[in-house]
């Protein structure tokens, strides 16, 4: 099992959610985060006080999937989240040791 985390541009969330749904991934967790990579921040100005804001708002998605779905998920996220401009984000893949469904106590791939 794999845990796929993706940092994407916030306005791409709906596209990515739809793309994942289309390949049968229905459960995702989303959090609002801030970050930067190569994308530059912007300047804000308040009565002459200038602030350079490095951190940009992003969305972080996490999906837990069976290992055989990994390539499909990566492709789905990549294609739906890409704009071609700097700041599109990154996908991180890690091994998922265990998954448990809280309601029923199921574990392993059945719990995904």
* Nearer Cβ to other proteins (49/86): 49
* Nearest-approach distance from CB 4 to other proteins, in angstroms: 29
Q: Which is nearer to other proteins, 43 or 94 (CB)?
A: 43
Min separation Cβ 77 and other proteins, Å: 29
Q: Where are the beta strands (DSSP E) in 2-111?
A: 2-8, 29-35, 42-46, 49-53, 56-65, 89-95
User: Which spans of this chain sit near other proteins (rule: CB under 8 A)?
Assistant: 44-49, 51, 53
Query: At residue 87, what are phi and psi to the nearest 5 degrees?
Result: 100, 10
Cα separation values, 100 from 1, 73, 109, Å: 12, 21, 9
Q: How far is the CB of 11 from other proteins (least distance, A)?
A: 22
């Amino acid at each position: 099992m794999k845990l796929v985390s993706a940092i994407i541009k916030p306005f791409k969330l709906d596209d990515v959610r739809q793309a994942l749904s289309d390949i049968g991934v229905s459960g995702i967790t989303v959090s609002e985060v801030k970050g930067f990579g190569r994308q530059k921040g912007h300047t804000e100005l308040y009565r002459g006080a200038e602030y350079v804001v490095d951190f940009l708002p992003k969305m972080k998605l996490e999906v837990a999937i069976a290992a055989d779905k990994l390539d499909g998920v990566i492709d789905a996220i990549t294609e739906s989240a890409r704009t071609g401009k700097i700041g599109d984000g990154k996908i991180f893949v890690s091994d998922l040791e265990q998954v448990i469904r809280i309601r029923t106590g199921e574990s392993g791939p059945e719990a995904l």
